[in-house]
Amino acid sequence: MKRSDRLARLVRAAADNGIVVPAFNVFYMPLIKPICDALKAYDTFGMVEISRIELQKFEVPSITAAAEEYSKHADPRVTALHLDHIPVIDEDGYKVDWRPLIEEGIRAGYDSVMIDGSRLPFEENVAVTAEVVRMAHAQGVLVEAELGSVLGHESGPLPPYDELFESKAGFTDPEQAREFVQRTGVDWLSVSVGSVHGAIAGAAKDQQKVKARLDIERIRQLREATGVPLVLHGGSGISLEYVRAAIANGIAKINIATDIRQPYDRTLAEGGTIEDGQRVVFETISDIIQNRYNIVGSATRLEELITLG
Protein backbone atom coordinates (compact mmCIF):
# COMPACT_ATOMS: atom_id res chain seq x y z
CA MET A 1 0.00 0.00 0.00
CA LYS A 2 1.38 3.44 -0.94
CA ARG A 3 2.12 5.68 2.02
CA SER A 4 -0.40 8.30 0.88
CA ASP A 5 -3.10 5.64 0.48
CA ARG A 6 -2.36 4.36 3.97
CA LEU A 7 -2.52 7.87 5.47
CA ALA A 8 -5.78 8.64 3.68
CA ARG A 9 -7.31 5.42 4.99
CA LEU A 10 -6.04 6.01 8.54
CA VAL A 11 -7.55 9.50 8.74
CA ARG A 12 -10.83 8.32 7.19
CA ALA A 13 -10.97 5.44 9.69
CA ALA A 14 -10.43 7.99 12.46
CA ALA A 15 -13.33 10.10 11.18
CA ASP A 16 -15.62 7.10 10.82
CA ASN A 17 -14.87 5.66 14.25
CA GLY A 18 -14.66 8.67 16.56
CA ILE A 19 -10.87 8.52 16.93
CA VAL A 20 -9.01 11.80 16.64
CA VAL A 21 -5.60 12.32 15.04
CA PRO A 22 -3.75 15.02 17.02
CA ALA A 23 -1.50 17.25 14.93
CA PHE A 24 1.17 19.18 16.83
CA ASN A 25 2.65 22.40 15.45
CA VAL A 26 6.41 22.81 15.69
CA PHE A 27 7.44 26.36 16.59
CA TYR A 28 11.01 25.38 17.45
CA MET A 29 13.06 22.49 16.10
CA PRO A 30 13.61 20.88 19.55
CA LEU A 31 9.84 20.25 19.77
CA ILE A 32 9.98 17.56 17.07
CA LYS A 33 11.67 15.00 19.32
CA PRO A 34 9.23 15.05 22.28
CA ILE A 35 6.24 15.00 19.92
CA CYS A 36 7.55 11.90 18.15
CA ASP A 37 8.64 10.30 21.44
CA ALA A 38 5.21 10.77 23.04
CA LEU A 39 3.36 9.34 20.03
CA LYS A 40 5.65 6.29 20.09
CA ALA A 41 5.41 5.86 23.85
CA TYR A 42 1.61 5.75 23.79
CA ASP A 43 1.18 3.93 20.46
CA THR A 44 -0.82 6.93 19.27
CA PHE A 45 -1.15 7.97 15.65
CA GLY A 46 -0.56 11.69 15.20
CA MET A 47 1.09 14.30 13.03
CA VAL A 48 4.02 16.65 13.27
CA GLU A 49 3.26 19.82 11.35
CA ILE A 50 5.07 22.95 10.28
CA SER A 51 3.40 26.04 8.83
CA ARG A 52 4.59 29.23 7.19
CA ILE A 53 4.03 31.05 10.48
CA GLU A 54 6.69 28.91 12.15
CA LEU A 55 9.07 29.76 9.32
CA GLN A 56 8.32 33.49 9.36
CA LYS A 57 7.75 34.31 13.03
CA PHE A 58 9.38 31.56 15.08
CA GLU A 59 12.52 29.44 14.83
CA VAL A 60 12.01 26.79 12.16
CA PRO A 61 14.74 27.47 9.55
CA SER A 62 13.11 25.83 6.53
CA ILE A 63 10.55 23.30 5.38
CA THR A 64 13.35 20.94 4.34
CA ALA A 65 15.30 21.33 7.59
CA ALA A 66 12.20 20.41 9.59
CA ALA A 67 11.69 17.30 7.44
CA GLU A 68 15.30 16.25 8.00
CA GLU A 69 14.99 16.66 11.76
CA TYR A 70 11.67 14.79 11.74
CA SER A 71 13.28 11.84 9.94
CA LYS A 72 15.71 11.40 12.86
CA HIS A 73 12.93 10.82 15.39
CA ALA A 74 9.81 9.64 13.56
CA ASP A 75 8.32 6.17 13.46
CA PRO A 76 6.17 6.03 10.29
CA ARG A 77 3.83 3.59 12.00
CA VAL A 78 2.65 6.26 14.43
CA THR A 79 3.53 9.59 12.80
CA ALA A 80 3.01 11.54 9.60
CA LEU A 81 4.56 14.85 8.52
CA HIS A 82 2.16 17.61 7.47
CA LEU A 83 2.87 21.00 5.91
CA ASP A 84 0.32 23.21 7.62
CA HIS A 85 -1.18 26.60 6.61
CA ILE A 86 0.52 27.72 3.44
CA PRO A 87 -1.65 30.80 2.84
CA VAL A 88 -2.38 32.60 -0.40
CA ILE A 89 -2.99 35.76 1.64
CA ASP A 90 -1.39 35.75 5.07
CA GLU A 91 -2.63 36.82 8.50
CA ASP A 92 -1.27 40.34 7.91
CA GLY A 93 -3.08 40.73 4.58
CA TYR A 94 -0.07 40.21 2.30
CA LYS A 95 -0.02 38.01 -0.79
CA VAL A 96 2.21 34.96 -0.39
CA ASP A 97 4.31 33.25 -3.06
CA TRP A 98 2.82 29.93 -2.05
CA ARG A 99 3.85 27.65 -4.93
CA PRO A 100 7.56 27.33 -3.99
CA LEU A 101 6.57 26.47 -0.42
CA ILE A 102 4.15 23.74 -1.49
CA GLU A 103 6.69 22.42 -4.00
CA GLU A 104 9.42 22.33 -1.33
CA GLY A 105 7.15 20.39 1.00
CA ILE A 106 6.39 17.84 -1.70
CA ARG A 107 10.10 17.46 -2.59
CA ALA A 108 11.09 17.20 1.08
CA GLY A 109 8.83 14.20 1.64
CA TYR A 110 5.86 15.66 3.52
CA ASP A 111 2.96 13.23 3.61
CA SER A 112 0.35 15.96 3.24
CA VAL A 113 0.20 19.70 2.59
CA MET A 114 -2.32 22.41 3.38
CA ILE A 115 -3.16 25.26 1.05
CA ASP A 116 -5.08 28.03 2.81
CA GLY A 117 -7.13 30.11 0.41
CA SER A 118 -9.72 30.98 3.04
CA ARG A 119 -9.09 34.73 2.71
CA LEU A 120 -9.86 34.57 -1.01
CA PRO A 121 -13.27 34.84 -2.67
CA PHE A 122 -14.87 31.41 -3.02
CA GLU A 123 -14.12 30.91 -6.73
CA GLU A 124 -10.46 31.85 -6.28
CA ASN A 125 -10.15 29.51 -3.29
CA VAL A 126 -11.59 26.70 -5.43
CA ALA A 127 -9.15 27.42 -8.28
CA VAL A 128 -6.03 27.58 -6.09
CA THR A 129 -7.00 24.50 -4.08
CA ALA A 130 -7.72 22.48 -7.22
CA GLU A 131 -4.30 23.44 -8.58
CA VAL A 132 -2.57 22.26 -5.40
CA VAL A 133 -4.56 19.02 -5.45
CA ARG A 134 -3.29 18.35 -8.99
CA MET A 135 0.30 19.15 -8.00
CA ALA A 136 0.29 17.11 -4.81
CA HIS A 137 -1.73 14.10 -5.91
CA ALA A 138 0.60 13.65 -8.88
CA GLN A 139 3.36 13.01 -6.31
CA GLY A 140 1.27 10.91 -3.93
CA VAL A 141 0.80 13.70 -1.38
CA LEU A 142 -2.55 14.41 0.30
CA VAL A 143 -4.10 17.88 0.52
CA GLU A 144 -5.95 19.79 3.23
CA ALA A 145 -7.70 23.09 2.49
CA GLU A 146 -9.72 25.60 4.48
CA LEU A 147 -13.16 27.09 3.90
CA GLY A 148 -14.47 29.68 6.32
CA SER A 149 -12.54 31.95 8.67
CA VAL A 150 -10.71 30.56 11.71
CA LEU A 151 -9.53 33.77 13.38
CA GLY A 152 -6.73 34.35 15.86
CA HIS A 153 -3.48 34.80 13.92
CA GLU A 154 -4.28 38.37 12.90
CA SER A 155 -2.25 41.14 14.51
CA GLY A 156 -5.31 43.14 15.60
CA PRO A 157 -7.65 42.29 18.49
CA LEU A 158 -10.44 39.76 18.02
CA PRO A 159 -14.06 40.77 18.55
CA PRO A 160 -15.55 39.52 21.85
CA TYR A 161 -15.75 35.73 21.57
CA ASP A 162 -19.43 35.38 22.52
CA GLU A 163 -20.35 37.95 19.88
CA LEU A 164 -18.26 36.09 17.31
CA PHE A 165 -19.83 32.72 18.12
CA GLU A 166 -23.43 33.91 18.21
CA SER A 167 -23.12 35.78 14.91
CA LYS A 168 -21.59 32.70 13.20
CA ALA A 169 -19.58 35.18 11.13
CA GLY A 170 -17.11 33.33 8.95
CA PHE A 171 -18.43 29.88 9.90
CA THR A 172 -18.23 27.29 7.12
CA ASP A 173 -21.45 26.85 5.16
CA PRO A 174 -22.29 23.15 4.58
CA GLU A 175 -23.69 23.57 1.06
CA GLN A 176 -20.75 25.71 0.00
CA ALA A 177 -18.43 23.11 1.53
CA ARG A 178 -20.11 20.36 -0.50
CA GLU A 179 -19.45 22.28 -3.72
CA PHE A 180 -15.88 23.11 -2.66
CA VAL A 181 -14.96 19.48 -2.01
CA GLN A 182 -16.61 18.25 -5.21
CA ARG A 183 -14.85 20.82 -7.39
CA THR A 184 -11.39 20.60 -5.81
CA GLY A 185 -10.99 16.92 -4.92
CA VAL A 186 -9.40 17.93 -1.61
CA ASP A 187 -8.74 15.10 0.87
CA TRP A 188 -9.46 16.90 4.16
CA LEU A 189 -11.31 20.11 4.93
CA SER A 190 -10.47 22.55 7.70
CA VAL A 191 -13.69 24.14 8.89
CA SER A 192 -14.69 27.17 10.94
CA VAL A 193 -17.14 26.10 13.65
CA GLY A 194 -16.17 28.21 16.66
CA SER A 195 -12.50 27.59 17.40
CA VAL A 196 -9.84 30.31 17.25
CA HIS A 197 -6.13 30.13 16.57
CA GLY A 198 -3.73 31.01 19.35
CA ALA A 199 -2.29 34.52 19.19
CA ILE A 200 1.21 34.69 17.73
CA ALA A 201 1.97 38.41 17.92
CA GLY A 202 3.47 40.47 20.73
CA ALA A 203 2.43 40.00 24.35
CA ALA A 204 -0.81 38.29 23.32
CA LYS A 205 1.08 35.13 22.35
CA ASP A 206 1.67 34.44 26.05
CA GLN A 207 -1.93 34.98 27.12
CA GLN A 208 -4.40 32.21 27.85
CA LYS A 209 -6.75 31.50 24.96
CA VAL A 210 -10.46 32.12 25.17
CA LYS A 211 -12.52 29.10 26.20
CA ALA A 212 -14.01 28.32 22.83
CA ARG A 213 -17.24 26.52 22.01
CA LEU A 214 -18.08 24.52 18.90
CA ASP A 215 -21.17 24.39 16.70
CA ILE A 216 -21.69 20.62 16.85
CA GLU A 217 -24.76 20.59 14.61
CA ARG A 218 -22.80 22.44 11.94
CA ILE A 219 -19.99 19.86 12.19
CA ARG A 220 -22.57 17.11 11.69
CA GLN A 221 -23.98 18.89 8.64
CA LEU A 222 -20.52 19.50 7.19
CA ARG A 223 -19.53 15.87 7.55
CA GLU A 224 -22.74 14.74 5.85
CA ALA A 225 -22.43 17.34 3.08
CA THR A 226 -18.77 16.79 2.23
CA GLY A 227 -18.09 13.13 2.99
CA VAL A 228 -14.44 13.92 3.79
CA PRO A 229 -12.60 13.95 7.14
CA LEU A 230 -12.88 17.35 8.80
CA VAL A 231 -10.06 19.26 10.50
CA LEU A 232 -10.33 21.57 13.50
CA HIS A 233 -7.70 24.28 13.79
CA GLY A 234 -7.18 26.12 17.06
CA GLY A 235 -7.57 22.94 19.09
CA SER A 236 -6.04 24.34 22.29
CA GLY A 237 -8.42 25.88 24.81
CA ILE A 238 -11.71 24.29 23.71
CA SER A 239 -14.01 22.96 26.42
CA LEU A 240 -13.67 19.19 26.65
CA GLU A 241 -17.38 18.47 26.19
CA TYR A 242 -17.28 20.22 22.81
CA VAL A 243 -14.07 18.49 21.75
CA ARG A 244 -15.48 15.04 22.41
CA ALA A 245 -18.76 15.84 20.66
CA ALA A 246 -16.85 17.20 17.66
CA ILE A 247 -14.79 14.02 17.37
CA ALA A 248 -17.94 11.90 17.57
CA ASN A 249 -19.47 13.89 14.71
CA GLY A 250 -16.71 13.92 12.10
CA ILE A 251 -13.68 15.92 13.26
CA ALA A 252 -10.78 13.59 12.45
CA LYS A 253 -7.75 15.84 12.94
CA ILE A 254 -7.24 18.52 15.56
CA ASN A 255 -4.34 20.97 15.41
CA ILE A 256 -2.62 21.74 18.70
CA ALA A 257 -0.12 24.56 19.04
CA THR A 258 -0.58 26.89 22.03
CA ASP A 259 -0.85 23.99 24.49
CA ILE A 260 2.72 22.90 23.74
CA ARG A 261 4.35 26.20 22.78
CA GLN A 262 3.50 28.12 25.94
CA PRO A 263 4.85 25.53 28.43
CA TYR A 264 8.06 25.27 26.41
CA ASP A 265 8.45 29.06 26.28
CA ARG A 266 7.79 29.39 30.02
CA THR A 267 10.31 26.70 30.90
CA LEU A 268 13.09 28.41 28.96
CA ALA A 269 12.07 31.88 30.19
CA GLU A 270 12.41 30.60 33.77
CA GLY A 271 15.99 29.46 33.12
CA GLY A 272 15.34 25.88 32.05
CA THR A 273 17.37 24.12 29.38
CA ILE A 274 16.11 22.90 26.02
CA GLU A 275 16.04 19.41 27.53
CA ASP A 276 13.85 20.71 30.36
CA GLY A 277 11.51 22.22 27.79
CA GLN A 278 11.38 18.96 25.86
CA ARG A 279 10.43 17.08 29.03
CA VAL A 280 7.60 19.53 29.70
CA VAL A 281 6.31 19.13 26.14
CA PHE A 282 6.47 15.32 26.41
CA GLU A 283 4.47 15.47 29.67
CA THR A 284 1.93 17.87 28.15
CA ILE A 285 1.38 15.66 25.12
CA SER A 286 1.14 12.60 27.36
CA ASP A 287 -1.71 14.27 29.24
CA ILE A 288 -3.44 15.28 25.99
CA ILE A 289 -3.23 11.71 24.66
CA GLN A 290 -4.36 10.02 27.87
CA ASN A 291 -6.87 12.40 29.38
CA ARG A 292 -8.16 14.85 26.79
CA TYR A 293 -8.57 12.54 23.80
CA ASN A 294 -8.29 9.05 25.31
CA ILE A 295 -6.32 7.76 22.30
CA VAL A 296 -3.65 5.54 23.84
CA GLY A 297 -3.18 2.68 21.38
CA SER A 298 -4.89 4.49 18.50
CA ALA A 299 -2.10 3.60 16.05
CA THR A 300 -2.75 -0.11 16.48
CA ARG A 301 -6.52 0.38 16.50
CA LEU A 302 -6.51 2.38 13.26
CA GLU A 303 -4.25 -0.18 11.57
CA GLU A 304 -6.71 -2.90 12.56
CA LEU A 305 -9.61 -0.89 11.15
CA ILE A 306 -8.01 -0.29 7.75
CA THR A 307 -6.90 -3.92 7.55
CA LEU A 308 -10.46 -5.09 8.24
CA GLY A 309 -11.96 -2.45 5.99
Catalytic residue among 84, 90, 111, 187: 84
43 is catalytic: no
d(CA 155, CA 273): 30
Name 291's Cβ contacts closer than 8 Å, sequence gap at least 6.
Answer: none
Angle (nearest 5°) at CA 148 between 209 and 51:
60
Q: CB within 8 A of 266, min separation 6: which ones?
A: none
**Using CA atoms, how far apart are residues 74 and 222, in angstroms rounded to an integer?**
33
CA 203 to chain centroid, in Å, comes to 24
Which ranges constitute the DSSP H helices of 17-147? 32-41, 52-57, 63-73, 98-108, 122-137
Find the helix or strand (DSSP H, E) in which 222 lies.
helix 216-226
Catalytic residues, which ones? 84
